């Protein structure tokens, strides 16, 4: 709240012209305007749909890949090293190829998101699997756990802390890739709305979209990931319970 | 009792069991020609210096590691992999942190496909045996070290294994907790009559718990001597003068046990002389002076009390 007051005060001093540094009132007006004409809701819906689908595929695929690669020396030496290489590549670099392969379509942007998030999830899950104390696996084998049950009842829960790290990382990679893609080429979506603001020199709209992105980021972090994390940490006894 | 009979099939039979690890630096003999027979319902303690392969032996019996040579028979059948008839308890409790106490205890039964109702009833039974029923909903990190080992014991007992293998399970606990657990283990053993092979480097612990103490020499591990402990149960610490005498006997045994370098020379002619000296030093220094003095200290305590 104080931040907004300071922000408005700074604008009122007219140090910078309005078109370079919009104040909160201008931003609020822009928000109301874009809500009225529906562009904001369409953009929000498009972006969220893209991220949910892209991240969902990355999460499912990444967890399965990570679990398999973490348990197999052969897969680790082959796929594992490829994954490490891919991880160093910002996923937006896939955009030119994606556009060539899929055209200017939803599939192109989903591909870019998945290339960013999938590897992050897979690498973290694999690390989670590798960090399982061998003692757990010995004890489990000794008590008759093997095959699918070993995965379901021991490996997956034991690797869960690593998987959650991967989820968080994957989510933020997915967001970054999505925004980069939308800013650069792809139609609709929040990134596109932000770019429109730039092209129309409507800085109020740019700032409005930026704030919205921050809010979405905070909500997803606080409501989903922070809760998951504290649940696992508490249960595993990695951190003292806050309560 | 029939299963203590002379002519019955031994619960565990080890014939010439050896284990060799191959590494970049060459081959290491961990165990050499172990012959051991354990009767059903017998409580065996294996004592020996650190690195004598006694933990390795338990892993071989559990089937978690493959032996290089010889035969391991459980109930007359070859051991070729892990089985729930031979359960190993580790020095660390190895409980699963994502499960509460009850679910940890039920884990093996769940793997075996036992119905939930039956699982719950059995788990409740063993938790009663180790006095932990009221902690059944606690998570692992909320338990003390001694409680964790009791849960690990319950988790093994609930499977009704033929043989319980215990790898220094109480080594990390304080003396008081250990004494309590000795008592509870003896009670559980008297109630269930499991065959137990218990590895420890604590001579007093071995004498208190075992029907027979098997003394190992250091690398490669081999059996130097077996000492029967014929004392009434349940045994309490320091309650018998006989314990003191036995402790002394075993400690002396461990001190005088030759590390068998002469034979090593034959097996490994190019073995470095300096390395052997280090090994000997380890045997006399690190291996025993420390642990021996602990036992002697408690022994003299007993003696003092006996004199007064």
Task: State pLDDT tens for residues A208-220.
Answer: 999 999 999 889 8
Q: pLDDT band at B152, cuts 50/70/90?
A: very high
Q: Is the pLDDT of residue A40 over 70?
A: yes
Q: pLDDT band at B294, cuts 50/70/90?
A: very low
User: How do the domains of chain B map onto residue ranges?
Assistant: 10-75+163-307, 92-161
Q: What is the pLDDT of residue B258?
A: 54
Cα distances from B184 to residues A80, B130, B138, B230, B243, in angstroms, run: 48, 7, 21, 20, 19
Q: At what angle do helices A203-219 and A190-199 cross, to 10 degrees?
A: 160
Q: Which of residues 95-154 of A touch B (CB under 8 A)?
A: 133, 135-136, 138-145, 149, 153-154
Strands B86-89 and B163-167: parallel
Cα distances from A27 to residues A3, A210, B178, in angstroms, run: 14, 10, 69
Q: What is the pLDDT of residue B231?
A: 78
Q: What is the pLDDT of residue B242?
A: 66
Residue A163 counted as domain residue: yes
Residue A10 counted as domain residue: no
**Number of domains making up chain A:** 1
Tell me the mean pLDDT in the region A107-113.
Answer: 92
| Least confident interval from B6-20, B117-131, B166-180 | B6-20
- Which residues does residue B43 pair with via DSSP β-bridges, in sequence order? B196
Yes or no: say if A12 and A23 are a contact pair by the CB < 8 Å rule.
yes
**In A88-238, alpha helices (H):** 95-102, 106-130, 134-142, 147-150, 156-184, 190-199, 203-219, 226-236
CATH code, A202: 1.10.3720.10
Taking only the tens place, the pLDDT of each residue in B191-224 is: 888 899 999 888 888 888 888 888 888 777 878 7
Q: pLDDT band at B148, cuts 50/70/90?
A: very high
**Predicted ipTM beyond 0.85:** no
- Measure in Å the smallest separation between the Cα of A22 and chain B Cα atoms: 51
Strand, helix or coil at A18?
coil
* Domain B10-75+163-307 annotated CATH 3.40.50.300: yes
Tell me the mean pLDDT in the region A110-125.
Answer: 92
Q: What is the pLDDT of residue B96?
A: 92
Which range is most confident: A150-164, B78-92, B254-268? Answer: A150-164
- Which residues does residue B77 pair with via DSSP β-bridges, in sequence order? B74
CB A138 to CB B142 under 8 A? no
CB A236 to CB B90 under 8 A? no
Residue A1 counted as domain residue: no
Cα(B236)–Cα(B124) distance, integer angstroms: 27
- Measure in Å the smallest separation between the Cα of B42 and chain A Cα atoms: 21
Yes or no: say if B82 and A142 are a contact pair by the CB < 8 Å rule.
yes
CB B90 to CB A135 under 8 A? yes
Residues 6+ apart with CB under 8 A from A142: B62, B64, B82, B84, B87, B88
Task: Find chain A residues with C-beta within 8 A of B138's C-beta.
Answer: none
Residue A148 counted as domain residue: yes
Yes or no: say if B91 and B168 are a contact pair by the CB < 8 Å rule.
yes
Cα(B153)–Cα(A72) distance, integer angstroms: 32
* Residue-averaged pLDDT of chain A: 87
Q: Which domain holds residue A37?
A: 26-236
Cα(A113)–Cα(A108) distance, integer angstroms: 9
Q: At what angle do helices A190-199 and A39-71 cross, to 10 degrees?
A: 130
């Amino acid at each position: 709240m104080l931040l907004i007051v300071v922000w408005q005060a700074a604008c009122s001093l007219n140090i910078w012209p309005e078109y370079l540094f919009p104040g909160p009132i201008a931003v609020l007006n822009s928000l109301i305007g874009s809500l009225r004409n529906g562009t904001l809701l369409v953009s929000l819906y498009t972006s969220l749909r893209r991220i949910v689908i892209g991240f969902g595929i990355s999460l499912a695929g990444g967890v399965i890949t990570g679990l398999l690669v973490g348990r197999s020396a052969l897969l680790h030496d082959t796929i594992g090293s490829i994954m490490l290489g891919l991880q160093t590549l910002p996923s937006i670099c896939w955009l030119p190829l994606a556009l060539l392969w899929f055209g200017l379509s939803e599939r192109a942007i989903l591909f870019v998101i998945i290339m960013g998030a999938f590897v992050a999830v897979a690498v973290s899950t694999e690390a989670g699997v590798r960090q399982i104390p061998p003692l757990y696996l010995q004890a489990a084998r000794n008590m008759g756990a093997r095959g699918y049950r070993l995965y379901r009842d021991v490996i997956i829960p034991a690797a869960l802390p690593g998987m959650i790290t991967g989820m968080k990382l994957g989510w933020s990679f997915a967001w970054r890739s999505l925004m980069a893609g939308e800013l650069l080429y792809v139609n609709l979506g929040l990134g596109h709305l932000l770019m429109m603001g730039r092209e129309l020199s409507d800085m109020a709209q740019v700032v409005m979209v930026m704030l919205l992105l921050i809010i979405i980021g905070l909500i997803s972090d606080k409501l989903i990931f922070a809760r998951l994390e504290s649940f696992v940490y508490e249960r595993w006894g990695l951190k003292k319970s806050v309560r | 009792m029939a299963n203590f009979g002379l002519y019955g099939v031994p619960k565990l039979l080890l014939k010439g069991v050896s284990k060799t690890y191959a590494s970049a630096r060459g081959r290491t003999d961990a165990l050499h020609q172990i012959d051991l027979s354990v009767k059903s319902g017998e409580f065996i303690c294996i004592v020996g210096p650190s690195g004598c392969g006694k933990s390795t032996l338990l892993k071989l019996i559990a089937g978690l590691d493959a032996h290089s040579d010889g035969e391991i028979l459980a109930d007359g059948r070859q051991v070729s992999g892990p089985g729930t008839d031979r359960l190993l308890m580790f020095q660390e409790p190895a409980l699963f942190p994502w499960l509460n106490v009850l679910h940890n205890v039920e884990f093996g039964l769940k793997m075996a496909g036992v119905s939930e109702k039956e699982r719950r009833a059995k788990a409740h039974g063993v938790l009663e045996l180790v006095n932990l029923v009221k902690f059944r909903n606690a998570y692992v990190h909320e338990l003390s070290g001694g409680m964790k080992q009791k849960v690990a014991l319950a988790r093994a007992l609930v499977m009704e294994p033929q043989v319980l293998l215990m790898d220094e399970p109480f080594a990390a606990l304080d003396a008081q907790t250990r004494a309590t657990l000795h008592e509870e283990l003896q009670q559980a053993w008297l109630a269930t009559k499991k065959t137990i092979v218990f590895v420890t480097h604590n001579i007093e612990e071995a004498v208190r718990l075992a029907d027979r103490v098997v003394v190992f020499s250091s690398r490669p591990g081999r059996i130097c001597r077996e000492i029967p402990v014929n004392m009434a149960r349940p045994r309490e610490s320091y309650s018998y003068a006989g314990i003191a005498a036995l402790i002394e006997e075993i400690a002396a045994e461990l001190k005088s046990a030759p590390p068998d370098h002469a034979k090593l020379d034959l097996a490994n002619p190019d073995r470095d002389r300096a390395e052997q000296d280090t090994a000997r030093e380890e045997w006399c220094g690190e291996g025993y002076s420390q642990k021996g003095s602990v036992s002697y200290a408690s022994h003299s305590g007993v003696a003092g009390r006996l004199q007064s």
